[in-house]
Amino acid sequence: MTEPTPFPPAHPSPPLAAPPARPGDPPPGEPWYLPTGDEHAVFEAAWAARLPVLLRGPTGCGKTRFVEHMAWRLHREAGRARTALDVPLVTVACHEDLSASDLVGRWLLSGDATVWRDGPLARAVRSGAMCYLDEVVEARRDTTVVIHSLTDHRRVLPIEKTGELLEAHPDFMLVVSYNPGHAAAGKTLKASTRQRFVSLDFTYPGIDAETTIVAHETGLDAPTAQRLARIGERLRHLEGHGLDDGVGTRLLVHAGKLIARGVPPRLACDVAIARALTEDADVRRAITDVCDVLMP
């Protein structure tokens, strides 16, 4: 058997850790986020007014990164009270089996006794952290009850199993995300839930912004990053024509990271973009054609 040939490095020194710092970068530790509209100002005002925020948009367009960035930023700016928090952001990836108990907490056996263990939402409510419920419509219906009591003037979390009515810490904030692309599958937010939130819409960045994002996240040079951004833009035209899920910036970043580590660009696009998007051979060929034209 012959040894596989390693890919020749496309760049003299591929970034193996964090990409090098660039002018305008945030302080070390703060997740980098490129604003594409007035999301910073709206989020900060919502935070100041203690209003819950809903991030709407397709997968891979920066919602999670934005929340991480804002949690970090508000944590840094808010002074000692918040910087004393162990975790400024508690993220829960919602799924179809996630119930209110998973969020609120449960009794656990400890030797002969039972002890109460707060769930992630209760921990955030108690400590004044930000809680991010990612893809909230995936969760079971019984989670709506706890979300509702936390998102109106009451700001309380009823813990049924212990009888506690937990009042939210003044700094607690609830953020949820929602992908409207899944509405066709019956996954929509009820109006009574949606109307409690300030809504921020996320969409794909334009070519220039996406080039900046891909270059920043991968360490690639601007021309290569721009080719990936163009591929993203072109593939988005295929949405609805065989491509059902959105072509998120995430896919372009993944392809870029492979290229930066020496994977030939067309192979990187195939494994990180085409195969990630579809199982259908014809659609994959259409994607590969676009990549071959734009990625020489």
Ligand X SMILES: Nc1ncnc2c1ncn2[C@@H]1O[C@H](COP(=O)(O)OP(=O)(O)O)[C@@H](O)[C@H]1O
The site for Mg ion (CB under 5 A) is made up of: 64
CA–CA dist 116, 141 (Å, integer): 23
Name the phi and psi angles at 152, rounded to 5.
-125, -170
Contact between 64 and ligand X per CB under 6 A: yes
283 binds, among ligand X, Mg ion, none (CB under 5 to 8 A by kind): none
* Binds ligand X (CB under 6 A): choice among 10, 53, 54, 61: 61
* Binds ligand X (CB under 6 A): choice among 56, 73, 155, 250: 250
Least distance (Å) between residue 209 CB and ligand X: 7
The closest of 32, 75, 37 to 213, measured between CA atoms, is: 32
Name the phi and psi angles at 183, rounded to 5.
-60, -35
Between 119 and 148, how does the x/- string for binding to ligand X read (CB under 6 A)? ------------------------------
249 binds, among Mg ion, ligand X, none (CB under 5 to 8 A by kind): ligand X
* Rounded alpha-carbon distances, angstroms, from residue 115 to 69, 112, 120: 35, 10, 16
217 binds, among Mg ion, ligand X, none (CB under 5 to 8 A by kind): ligand X
196 binds, among ligand X, Mg ion, none (CB under 5 to 8 A by kind): none
Least distance (Å) between residue 226 CB and ligand X: 16
Contact between 253 and ligand X per CB under 6 A: yes
CA quadruple 24, 27, 32, 38: dihedral, nearest 10 = -70
Using the Cα atoms of residue 266, residue 230, residue 54 and residue 240 in order, give the sign of their dihedral.
Answer: negative
* Binds ligand X (CB under 6 A): choice among 26, 34, 276, 286: 34
CA–CA dist 59, 101 (Å, integer): 27
Contact between 60 and ligand X per CB under 6 A: yes
C-beta closer to ligand X: residue 167 or 208 = 208
CA–CA dist 223, 220 (Å, integer): 8
| Tokens matching residue 230 | 């163009």
Name the phi and psi angles at 232, rounded to 5.
-60, -45
C-beta closer to ligand X: residue 154 or 275 = 275
Contact between 33 and ligand X per CB under 6 A: yes
Contact 40/74 with Cβ under 8 angstroms? no
C-beta closer to ligand X: residue 156 or 271 = 271
Angle (deg, nearest 10), helices 39-48 and 63-77: 50
Contact between 71 and ligand X per CB under 6 A: no
Site for ligand X in 203-232 (CB under 6 A): 213, 217
The number of beta carbons lying within 10 Å of the beta carbon of residue 136 is 25
Give residue number: closest CB to ligand X.
Answer: 62
C-beta closer to Mg ion: residue 64 or 151 = 64
The DSSP call for residue 239 is B
User: Using CB under 6 A as the criterion, which residues of the chain lie in contact with ligand X when the complex forms?
Assistant: 32-34, 36, 57, 59-65, 213, 217, 249-250, 253
